[in-house]
Amino acid sequence: MSTVTPPPSGAPRDPGAPEGWLPPDPASVSPTAPHIGVAELVRLCTVDTELYGKAFFPQTFRHASPSFAKAMWEPMEDPNVRLVNLVAFRGSSKTSRARIFASKRIAYGISRTILYVGVSEGKAIESVIGLI
């Protein structure tokens, strides 16, 4: 677990970040991770949704992905498949993966309209709010 040190007084803070939040020190996340630029990271994320999730949603993708993760992404990422119905066990990250998938499609301009369907209107709204 990494610790967060407060910034020195007068240090610039991202105005969109929650009060007291600081990005983690890259060395504390993975001291052996290669350092790449933002443009390269964005390019790599176009073909690797797991990387997209780890890069832009680190709290959601904080653990190593299970072996079945690729099998869950394949039908969702296939451009020839229009409707996907994933049936998986409780705790297999269905909701998290659906949110990451929707986020990626929005971020890369692939989808203009995404319909969230939930057991209730409240649950569908909760999933959409999770993207923000």
Structurally, the chain folds into a number of domains equal to 1
pLDDT in tens, 117-132: 778 888 888 878 877 6
**pLDDT in the model for residue 118:** 76
- Smallest CA-to-CA distance from 77 within 94, 91, 55, 98 is with 98
Residue 107 has pLDDT above 70, yes or no: yes
What pTM was estimated for this model as a whole? 0.66
Average pLDDT over residues 82-98: 86
Is there a domain that residue 10 lies in? no
pLDDT greater than 80 at residue 97: yes
**CB of 131 within 8 A of CB of 101?**
no
List of long-range contacts for 92-99, beta carbons under 8 Å, 24+ apart: 92/66, 92/68, 93/69, 95/127, 95/130, 96/53, 96/57, 96/60, 96/61, 97/53, 97/69, 97/72, 97/73, 98/127, 99/57, 99/60, 99/127, 99/130, 99/131
Dihedral angle computed from the Cα positions of residues 37, 64, 88 and 116, in that order, rounded to the nearest 10 degrees: -30
* Average confidence (pLDDT) over 74-95: 86
Domain contains 119: yes
Domain assignment present for 19: no
SS3 26: helix
The domain containing residue 123 runs over which residues? Answer: 26-129
pLDDT tens digits for 10-54? 444 445 545 555 554 544 445 455 677 888 888 999 988 988 998
